[in-house]
Amino acid sequence: MATNSSPQSISLFSLLLLVLLAVFSSGLLATGGHAYSFSIKEATVKEIQQAFKQNRLTSRQLVEFYLGEIHRLNRVLRGVIEVNPEAINQADKADQERKAKAATSKLDLHGIPILLKDNIATKDKMNTTAGSFALLGSVVARDAFVVTKLIQAGAIILGKASMSEWAHFRSFDAPNGWCARSGQGKNPYALSADPCGSSSGSAISVAANMAAVSLGTETDGSILCPSGSNSVVGIKPTVGLTSRDGVIPVSPRQDTVGPICRTVADAVYVLDAIVGFDDNDEATREASKYIPLGGYKQFLKLDGLRGKRLGIVRKLVSSFATSSEVTRSFENHIQTLRQQGAVLVDNLKIDNLDVFLNTITSGETLAVLAAEFKLALNTYLKELVASPVRSLADVITFNKKFSKEMVKEYGQSVFETAQATGGIDNDVKTALQSLTKLSRDGFEKLISEKKLDALVTPGFDISHVLAIGGFPGISVPAGYDSNGEPFGIYFGGLNGTEPKLIEIAYSFEQATKIRKPPLFIASKICSKHDRLLLQALLHLGEGLE
């Protein structure tokens, strides 16, 4: 902890004063010391839009506030890789449009800043690198399709969120949330806790109020897991519901782009803005049939749990979800779901679940993903206008050349496994058929036979099951353990069931209202004095190294 004075030299009175100043400054003051009549911290999109209409807030003030929070908190949290130098100009444009009474009343995201995971391309002054120095300075041909949709909705592109480098597909030895460009992302609730990945920065940033809303991507767990671990909401859409054009890929069969926000409603506003057919992503042709007329906002219903059939698969939990706090909370949540009108089908079993889970980091799953990754990444790199690397082989060579400075000790074993593949050969096709059968005879069969609207689980291992078939899922804050570390509750369903999942998630969220702002706990063993000191230093910009 690097401060201007030692903890021992700060009196309790001075410490209390620092904390009081921090609390005051964090809610009503933005950068430059300007006082606003609106508290930006923890504000929802709906509240921000209301403040815009009442002339209590401008988009410029909002952007300045978030840039100030990034400046103060990011050297500790490492949730943001870079900010958009055009963000203030975009905010001024939004304010001018609002003042001119341009047709913005139906655009929920007009004037709202959003962070993008660093694998989502922007044709601007920012980089798109997947957290790697290998792509620093590369030039994309155009904005990613989802970015174009956000701009059309009036959103302000605030910057790029950090991530597990290469979507955690370079090496499984690297910790969640680490990338060469920004270092180790930290969980704002407990800095020593796992922020999860690979959309860690997107979750960290909105949890810590460094942005209003964000976008993440998921191949297998990369939206759902960091959302649960950072006490925010994540929506993993049906594959193809959102275009992957302009997104650095892992698997076109499994990749999807989705929102990570502080509330279900905010996530739905973002989802409404980014869904749609894209000529450059064939998967959107089939999935676009799932998009409801009138969008997804109509499914934000307080009574959304009423009559829903929810299956509970207790074996489908991560090791984290076996803690006593999580177990007790989940049992309480089961009662809440029942009280809100859901029909619960308990103690269900997914056939061949153990067989499937054992293939996640080896065997059939890895064989398929490795082959898909090599082909998809090579295509992406070749289509760049300019780039230091043009193939996976180039990236591997780059990492070897700069391993000491940029790659650390984590290696690139997954890259090397992928490079050794020879395309979608017979072995890969056989493995893919096996995975498809596991999904069809397991998750899909269970949903169909029990006539379920969704499965519910306290463990993010459900993401592995959802990944195979490109199925959607939502994570909602569910509680905090004795160390202050958050955990989520997860709802998953079949393709196109986002309306049901949104009804379920929103109804649960409104019935429980569990989320609270982070406390920035230094570690599990820190004294109360040190924890308060850390809060004050973080809020006042002293920071830690």
CB 271 within 8 A of CB 107: no
Q: Which of 59, 171, 198, 463 is catalytic?
A: 198
Say what the pLDDT of residue 539 is: 52
Range list of β-strands (E), 349-471: 454-457
Average the pLDDT over 203-223 and give the result: 98
- Please state, as a whole number, how many other Cβ atoms lie within 10 Å of the Cβ of residue 38: 18
Say what the pLDDT of residue 12 is: 46
Q: What backbone torsions phi and psi does residue 87 show, to the nearest 5 degrees?
A: -60, -40
Average the pLDDT over 395-406 and give the result: 83
Between 38 and 318, name the one with better pLDDT.
38
Q: Answer yes or no: is pLDDT of 221 > 50.
A: yes
Q: Which of 26, 59, 117, 164 is catalytic?
A: 117
Q: Answer yes or no: is pLDDT of 535 > 80.
A: no
198 flagged as catalytic: yes
pLDDT band per the 50, 70, 90 thresholds, residue 18: very low
214 flagged as catalytic: no
Q: Which of 59, 199, 222, 227 is catalytic?
A: 222
Calculate the alpha carbon distances from 225 to 442, 456, 474 in Å.
22, 14, 10
Q: Which amino acid is at 405?
A: E
Say what the pLDDT of residue 284 is: 98
Calculate the alpha carbon distances from 245 to 256, 277, 370, 505 in Å.
10, 11, 20, 28
Instruction: Collapse the DSSP code of 476 into the 3-class scheme (helix H, G, I; strand E, B; otherwise coil) and give the result.
Output: strand
Nearest one of 18, 75, 41 to 530, comparing CA atoms: 18
Say what the pLDDT of residue 323 is: 72
Say what the pLDDT of residue 522 is: 64
DSSP secondary structure letter of residue 254: T
186 flagged as catalytic: no
Residue 526 corresponds to which tokens in the numbers above?
A: 């820190």
Q: Which residue has 């036979």 as its token pair?
A: 449
Q: Whole-angstrom Cα distance, residue 268 to residue 234?
A: 10
- Apex CA 189: angle with CA 177 and CA 171, to 5°? 15
Say what the pLDDT of residue 403 is: 72
pTM of the model: 0.91
Q: Whole-angstrom Cα distance, residue 543 to residue 545?
A: 7
Residue 41 corresponds to which tokens in the numbers above?
A: 């911290």
State the average pLDDT for the chain: 88
pLDDT digits 0-9 by tens, 278-319? 999 999 999 999 999 999 999 999 999 999 999 998 876 554
Q: Answer yes or no: is pLDDT of 355 > 60.
A: yes
Q: Is the dihedral of CA 220, 221, 223, 226 positive or negative?
A: negative
Q: What backbone torsions phi and psi does residue 81 show, to the nearest 5 degrees?
A: -85, -45
pLDDT digits 0-9 by tens, 60-74? 999 999 999 999 999
